[in-house]
Copies of this chain bind each other. A is one copy, B any other.
């Protein structure tokens, strides 16, 4: 269950405050040039500590590749890699060892496993997303060769959709020691028609599962989405038209590039909802593992709006999903 994908597969491991996190990419096509600068730049996009808007935790996030690459190219065998944890200040987490932090995974992990690694969220920490970004960088190298691009952006913070207002809102929430939700939108262009499988392997179902697996994700829609719930069929349907180049396209794209679960060649568009991160500095009512009630006031680092740093993670998950479906579709 720590593996993602069918033919292009990422298996991950690691806790936020253990020795290292890491992963194994299985199914990377052979012969792809591994552009290490690109991998580093992708890692840098997700890394905390880069602006006032995100958590000041600072990790080098250096990816050490251990296998599957020979003379600068992928060999087709699994690419194992690790990212050492270097900034783990365990003292910040004394309270966490005792108290169940509200809306974190502390309580549910304890219920499920009977014990838990309480250091900084353990396996449930957003630190795990660094491994996704590394895997996604490899996937993007495959997509680049196919002329497919994946671009996500912060579309909304709280109820704000204008960039300047989003920034002001995040700074204000941060000052309050609070957090706020947000929405990331993503567009995939250059994707050929025919990706996606009937019936349970619909392309949007796979994209949805990918996105919903990201920490703090609470919702997913594509095409016209929830905001289009009031549309009638006669408005929502995308008329087929001739394109000047002789191919068939659609006049509108309310389908978000996917019809019947299969890509139709139009840009694939979807939105990903992130709840406010549950780590806030305001005091909160909770209980401990003995069942004692109390008030927990967390200290330390926190992200006022996880949606900000989720942008490259959304891209990474989308890129891996598309590569997986390209490989599956190659079998037809």
Contact = CB atoms under 8 A, between A and B. Distances in A.
Nearest to A179: B233
A244 interface: no
A185 interface: no
A223 interface: yes
Contacts of A246: 291
A238 B66 CA distance: 33
A302 to B, nearest CB: 9
Given A260-B109, A261-B105, A219 B218 contact: no
B75 A116 contact: yes
Given A205-B209, A221-B219, A67 B233 contact: no
A117 B237 contact: no
Contacts of A228: 181, 218, 275
A29 interface: yes
Contact of A173 (B13, B107, B232): B232
Given A108-B259, A213-B205, A291-B246, A18 B67 contact: yes
A40 B257 CA distance: 38
Contact of A234 (B67, B196, B280, B291): B280
B218 A114 contact: no
Q: Which 6 A-B pairs have the closest CB atoms?
A: A105-B260, A219-B221, A13-B80, A179-B233, A1-B197, A1-B201
Interface of A: 1-4, 7, 9, 11-15, 18-22, 24, 26-27, 29-31, 64-68, 70, 73, 75-80, 82, 100, 102-109, 111-117, 122-124, 128, 156, 158-159, 173, 176, 178-183, 193-194, 196-202, 204-206, 208-209, 212-213, 218-226, 228-234, 236-242, 246, 248, 250-251, 254-256, 258-265, 273, 275-280, 282, 284-287, 291, 293, 327-332
9 contacts: A11-B26, A13-B77, A15-B68, A20-B66, A22-B66, A103-B255, A105-B198, A224-B275, A233-B282
